[in-house]
Amino acid sequence: MTKLVVLVGAMLLASAGAATADQTGSSVMFKLVGSAESIEDGIRLTSDFGQLGAAWSTNRVSVGDGFDLTFRFRIYDLRFGGADGFAVVIQNEERQILSGGGGTFGYLGVPSVAIEFDTWMNLASDGGFGPLGDPDDNHISVHTNGQAGNGPDESFSIGATSSIPNLSDGNVHLARISYRPGELTIFLDDLSSPVLAVALDLGSTLVLAPGGKGWVGMVGATGGAAQTQDILEPEVDFD
């Protein structure tokens, strides 16, 4: 397993156009899109109302054989209850895509696998996006529609849990997303015991590039309610 550290400081270049990424070296570079900005030790996806922000790997990276993505996050400064959350997204459709807004997180319509850290309960009529059907306002849910357009509707969920700490309590939380062909596991705060495990094979679910490569991103959104969403100290191991 080769450890690749995401060099967040280098993303200061992203406001003027991102530097290139090179998975064969010691770093994976990310392009900041929309409201996302570089902060000390990480990425700020949103900080105000009606925002949509993302950080996408500037090159495809090898995900098909397995990876571990570990990061800390902090959600705070809640306004009107705070919304909407963020998602880690794997896709092979387009560089630096950003689609939708609010409860759609920014990956609406993109063939992908999305791991949502959802902090707002979207009901059937919210935003005109159909019956999203969120179970509550504090859950993790894995969404995919295979090679068709994905979205936040819970009909696309292949597994979810609400048995987790409060995601938006203002504290720094530790998360790990671990994938091996056949299974995706998600850890929160306790890295010895997953909060969610789902059956998943990226190679058969998505159309990955040769070598099992795709783009990896973190996307987040706010709407009529808002919160600041920071992703801190991300690092990734690839098999």
- Cβ pair 202, 64 in contact under 8 A: yes
Mean residue pLDDT of the chain comes to 86
Domain locations along the chain? 2-238
pTM of the predicted model as reported, rounded to 2 decimal places: 0.89
pLDDT tens readout for residues 187-212: 999 999 999 999 999 999 999 999 99
Residue 146 CA from chain centroid, whole number: 17
Q: Is the per-residue pLDDT at 52 higher than 60? A: yes
Q: Is the per-residue pLDDT at 128 higher than 70? A: no
Higher pLDDT, 122 or 105: 105
Residue 158 CA from chain centroid, whole number: 16
To which H or E segment does residue 172 belong? strand 172-180
- Output Rg (C-alpha) for the chain, integer angstroms: 16
Using the structure block, give the residue that is written with the tokens 């992703």.
231
Q: Which two tokens stand for residue 189?
A: 């705060």
pLDDT tens readout for residues 23-49: 444 567 888 999 999 998 889 999 999
Residue 170 CA from chain centroid, whole number: 19
| pLDDT above 70 as % of the chain | 85
Distances (CA, A) of 163 to 111, 141, 168: 28, 11, 14
Give CA torsion, residues 42, 185, 194, 174, to 10 deg: 0
CATH of 2-238, one of 2.60.120.200, 3.90.700.10, 3.40.50.2000, 3.10.20.740: 2.60.120.200
Q: Is the per-residue pLDDT at 1 higher than 80? A: no
Q: How would residue 131 be classed by pLDDT, with cut points 50, 70 and 90?
A: low
